[in-house]
A and B are shown apart, each in its own frame.
Chain A
């Protein structure tokens, strides 16, 4: 283990707990002994050397090295599964590297926990916000950091000061529940600043934002940078990275490929560095849309909890055979609920669902699936797999009543196993055997198994929620191929995705969902990501019909 001469505050130097770390005493330690004050620019803010992290059987990070200059935005790009998250966990003290060293302001640090990282001036904004909705901004910010400025007016003054200084536009007394995604993200940034962070890591910060909010975030980042803070920005969206970063480090297969200057590369070159090959693009061929209606939804209303607004408010959709209908929207605007209503997992307050001419509104999930609705849930680990069960049992899941999985009321394990072998082969699921647990496979292979299973029962409809989320490029392109094939085979496909490229590339029609309503119909041939983004936030005053 490297880094023995560390500047690591002993466990007794700060109170226990993840967020309670950055007491003043600890901040003093990071600023302390050798360097009086006024950090010298001679040292980079962050320097990584030879970072290697092995997980059982997999090397997640291998000999990673780069340095980040103070007062810059440094982007780290790489495709899903390239090892970015592991690297960030190492920087934030969640995991310890097997080899290599981390230096902050020229000093080697040994980070054992997030508390150490916070003490060293590193703050992290997670992709999934960690805010209590029923608390005010002030309460959320001081939570776990009560010792810094108390919980009253002193804290409020500090929050206002930080907000003004960095242009974050945060009202300390607003209730988080009332705030949008962009504002919540600014609160998360404010939280780490409040705790004294000088280096801020943002993990895929734009994944939850629409283009307009992304611009605002980038303005904030430039503000932070101009105040001398250092920002580490993790993303796989190249255009964004090129527009905001001062320097870009590319990671591929767990190791640093190169660090480039954004002015010297274009998105294409960056993509090739990332993938090491040509990027696949989601392009459909000529239209296969017919006039035969396969799935029709009429005026679905789903009341919210209590007296809140409706979660789904009068949704009507028609999908024809051979048509891919894409639903664009910021997450949490009713997409998940719409899928659950269609799949019979949730009872709508009112409205009807038709499969062909049959009213299936009152059918239960199993009957709907038996009738030929294939379902790729958005959270495959929670909704599509039994992680501790072998692959062949997972092949039965969701089709417990259908051939070849059962004979009458008895499970036909021989039939299920044989068919699992077929799926593994046809859909290129990389696994040593069909008897391994589903949890042992990588995300992309899990998803290929799910897609293969769902396509194995002559479906008429495919409901696919975020089908390529968190899968590698190889799996992504094969899943896109399968969706295209389904379209050619005359299925009606409902595609829900946060990836606007994917939506535009695969869909025949795109509907935008906002606060439980469909607010606009777009033609993917003419629409741009910016148009969709505007419609997704409601920024477009009157969504125009472009067809």
Chain B
């Protein structure tokens, strides 16, 4: 992984590019079949975004990035945390309720809220971890169930603590004090809106994720468990403990997903808070191959498609939901492409090893059996 070679880079880039091409072709075919204006659709989606939209893309990607990293931590050890969605909603609700109380001044309130959200997300995830380790229940099943339960729990608690908003039917937690609201960063010139301040949090999370997974003993154990649980056990990894730690870490990271939205945009948690971020994270982690930079690229692409599709209705007369088809086909194609490329990679390397050994063997005369 750490050794650079052009072959590896090519293989890494080939799959996503292939998937994008396939998605382009399939979507075009569908549009053609339905008699929609193909050219206009692509012109709209592929036009260069305005500064305002650029900010929206970056902001959307920030949230997606956090979500995908939360999922990727589990993926690296073959732990399928489908419950990121429930975890982030429980966490952002807890965080919003805490922050709204304004027990602490300005920035301290932000920091402590982030901690509260991480704890809440981690705790919610620990239920699934406990069920897996102690009762042998697949985390896929339990986290899906917990997503549904999270919806109910958050709804119920929201009704208890909610304040009614003026002139609206929606309810939400008490808004956070102005001193704790984050105005954002004016990173993109010419835009009236601003990039979430907590994009810095996403960058920090990405860097930490890379470091912990690739450079630490814990990360090695985690990856070993993901590659072969039986070999990890024999090497001395306590797998149940790894499951618990990783699941809670994933939940705690899921707790961060709602933070940029809470501090930079909504300022409270209510019925209108953005939903479904956890599920998007699963796809983005897959597309980004669980790699910190790959996920960043995937998150930007996802957000780009989201934002660019907004204008479809007006400019091309096509429902903006067509973007879900594009995203779906990309995912479908990329999963297949990764598997094909992986197999090709294994085969190529075996060939190369055999070839190079055959070359050296003809020099040496010691007997050595072929891999038959």
Q: How many residues of A contact B (CB 8 A)?
A: 68
- Please pick, from A399, A400, A442, A473, the residue contacting B367 in the complex, using a CB distance under 8 A: A473
A432 to B218, CA, bound (A): 29
Could you give, for residues 342-380 of chain A, a 1 whenever the CB lies within 8 Å of some chain B CB and a 0 otherwise?
010100000000000000000011111110000101010
A276 to B355, CA, bound (A): 23
- Please pick, from A80, A86, A382, A406, the residue contacting B369 in the complex, using a CB distance under 8 A: A80
Q: Which residues of B contact A (CB under 8 A)?
A: 1-3, 214-221, 223-224, 227-228, 230-231, 233-238, 346-358, 360-361, 366-372
- CB <8 Å contact, A440 and B372: no
A444 to B219, CA, bound (A): 29
- CB <8 Å contact, A472 and B356: no
Residue ID in chain A nearest B347 by CB atoms: A56
- CB <8 Å contact, A386 and B227: yes
- CB <8 Å contact, B233 and A474: no
A158 to B351, CA, bound (A): 49
Residue ID in chain B nearest A478 by CB atoms: B366
A364 proximity list for chain B (CB < 8 A)? 236, 238
A275 proximity list for chain B (CB < 8 A)? 367
- CB <8 Å contact, A58 and B370: yes
- CB <8 Å contact, B231 and A375: no
- CB <8 Å contact, B224 and A386: yes
B237 proximity list for chain A (CB < 8 A)? 366, 400
B227 proximity list for chain A (CB < 8 A)? 386-389
- CB <8 Å contact, A60 and B228: no
What are 14 residue pairs bridging A and B, where the CB atoms are less than 8 Å apart in the complex?
A58-B372, A254-B370, A365-B234, A368-B236, A383-B230, A385-B231, A386-B227, A393-B220, A409-B216, A411-B216, A430-B368, A436-B353, A474-B366, A474-B369
A85 proximity list for chain B (CB < 8 A)? 372
B366 proximity list for chain A (CB < 8 A)? 474
Residue ID in chain A nearest B218 by CB atoms: A409
- CB <8 Å contact, A401 and B371: no
Does A413 sit at the interface, judged by CB under 8 A? Answer: yes
Could you give, for residues 151-171 of chain A, a 1 whenever the CB lies within 8 Å of some chain B CB and a 0 otherwise?
000000000000000000000
A57 to B221, CA, bound (A): 33
A377 to B353, CA, bound (A): 25
Does A19 sit at the interface, judged by CB under 8 A? Answer: no
- CB <8 Å contact, B371 and A442: yes
Residue ID in chain A nearest B359 by CB atoms: A432
A397 to B1, CA, bound (A): 16
Give the 8 A-B CB pairs with smallest separation, nearest first.
Answer: A366-B236, A57-B354, A472-B369, A81-B369, A432-B356, A442-B371, A57-B351, A398-B235
A59 to B349, CA, bound (A): 16
**A438 CB to nearest B CB, Å:** 10
B234 proximity list for chain A (CB < 8 A)? 343, 345, 365, 375, 377, 383-384, 398
- Please pick, from B1, B220, B368, the residue contacting A400 in the complex, using a CB distance under 8 A: B220
- Please pick, from A411, A431, A473, the residue contacting B215 in the complex, using a CB distance under 8 A: A411
Query: Would you list which residues of chain A between 441 and 482 have a CB under 8 Å from chain B?
Result: 441-444, 472-475
- CB <8 Å contact, B236 and A400: yes
A377 to B230, CA, bound (A): 11
- CB <8 Å contact, A365 and B236: yes
- CB <8 Å contact, B367 and A474: yes
Does A541 sit at the interface, judged by CB under 8 A? Answer: no
